[in-house]
Amino acid sequence: MISKESASKILAEGLKTGADFAEIYIEDVNQLSLGLDDSRLERAVQGNDRGAGIRLFFGNLVTYAYTDVLTEDSMLEAAKSAASAGTSSGKNQVIDLTEKKSSLDFDIKKSFDNLSIDDKAAILNQIDEVGRAHSPLVAQVFGRYMERSRKVWIYNSEGLYVHDNRDFVEMMMGVIAQKDGVLQRSFMGFGGQVGLELLDNNDPIEKIKEAADSAIRMLDAKPAPVGEMTVVLPNGWGGVLFHEACGHQMEADFITNGASAYANKVGETVASPIITAIDDGTIAGRRGSIRFDDDGTSSQRTVLIENGVLKEYMWDKVEARRVGRDTSTGNGRRQSYRHMPMPRMTNTFIDAGEHDPDEIIENTKHGVYVKSMAGGQADITRGDFVFNATEAYLIEDGKLTTPLRGATMTGNGPEVLKEIDMVGTDLALDPGMGMCGKGQSARVSVGQPTVRLPRVMVGGTGE
């Protein structure tokens, strides 16, 4: 993006007033999104966003300045601005930059221009037609196509230079079904850090039919029972509960400020012994995968919890420096060049267990099986959560019976994690739609096998 000579000069400018570390982060993002709402295809939104951020460390003091003009002069100005916090009159340093390559193969097979915008819009129109024709109970169809190419370059005063390409495609489609004044919404989606081969491996037409069937089944659902009961959560997207209600508390900023239930607990039992949990940024094709994080650290697989024992937190450079660690775990991520990195999850999941998923249902006398979940809300520093099921069934004597509407689950993540008593063999990651908000937004994956929570408060107010 810029020459090594330019980068070296900008870093040297940043170090002039006494900073002990300087970094340039450059980003170039291209995005296309197409929306379909109530049979209307919205105009394609195409955008480019590029810029650079200069970050300096003066011990634990961090300063940041950014620019959307990618010229050497403009970046030198940003470096001067970030350096104005320093007081010493420094010497001119020469930074020798060496490119570090990743061994991870995330290459996409079919580039975005294999289909025209009209071709992509035609897929949405087809979703609309098929969804409407599927049943007279389908009142509305909606859908979205999005592709995003994010290229980043990072240079720092330790001599590091890395480049990463992150390409994403995602599709979401859903319906609103209606009967006797009852409305039921259901949606499906898929995505990943892939090219248009995503559409070879996932069929949007099958997915819209599935979404319609799910919404129609739920039209006849009964209100969910209220009270404390056993809940079986689905594999894949069900892992969003672990992500929101437990995972955030293993991010190092919540650890170093003492807010987390997991602070100072490494080596202690914090979960049921059948729980192993992992954050892995190295899985090809996944939304949360990164060759390098936004600090320039190689991404890695980090075991967070092993057989119930807390092993490690997720670190970025700032928090690692704060506690004197030599290395971070490669979890420093940022929304854009306008932001500084912070510790964030990548692809985070509960690992496979020993129980056949059918056996988990068969062994449950009375409870609720959640087939699909919408998002929910969690206080990420405490882990208190409220999640809504979009499709749920009563479990009676080991069998799925009545469909339930509006089931909400309430609890505390770290408490629930200690109580999980069955973990399935059917580990899956979510279909590739996950977006995490923590002041900044980040693409992530979540996952888990089927798991059983012996006691969770279920309410009936999810609508």
C-beta of 227 vs 437, nearer to Zn ion: 437
CB 409 within 8 A of CB 385: yes
C-beta of 342 vs 436, nearer to Zn ion: 436
Residues in contact with Zn ion by CB under 5 A are 436
Work out how close the CB of 26 gets to Zn ion at its nearest, in angstroms, rounded to a whole number: 26
Work out how close the CB of 295 gets to Zn ion at its nearest, in angstroms, rounded to a whole number: 19
Work out how close the CB of 248 gets to Zn ion at its nearest, in angstroms, rounded to a whole number: 6
Work out how close the CB of 463 gets to Zn ion at its nearest, in angstroms, rounded to a whole number: 24
First to last CA, the chain: 49
C-beta of 188 vs 345, nearer to Zn ion: 345
C-beta of 36 vs 350, nearer to Zn ion: 350
Work out how close the CB of 437 gets to Zn ion at its nearest, in angstroms, rounded to a whole number: 6
C-beta of 173 vs 436, nearer to Zn ion: 436
Work out how close the CB of 343 gets to Zn ion at its nearest, in angstroms, rounded to a whole number: 12
Work out how close the CB of 241 gets to Zn ion at its nearest, in angstroms, rounded to a whole number: 11
Work out how close the CB of 214 gets to Zn ion at its nearest, in angstroms, rounded to a whole number: 25
C-beta of 243 vs 371, nearer to Zn ion: 243
C-beta of 149 vs 302, nearer to Zn ion: 302
C-beta of 12 vs 436, nearer to Zn ion: 436
CB 185 within 8 A of CB 175: yes
C-beta of 6 vs 440, nearer to Zn ion: 440
Work out how close the CB of 212 gets to Zn ion at its nearest, in angstroms, rounded to a whole number: 29
Q: Which residue is nearest to Zn ion (CB)?
A: 436
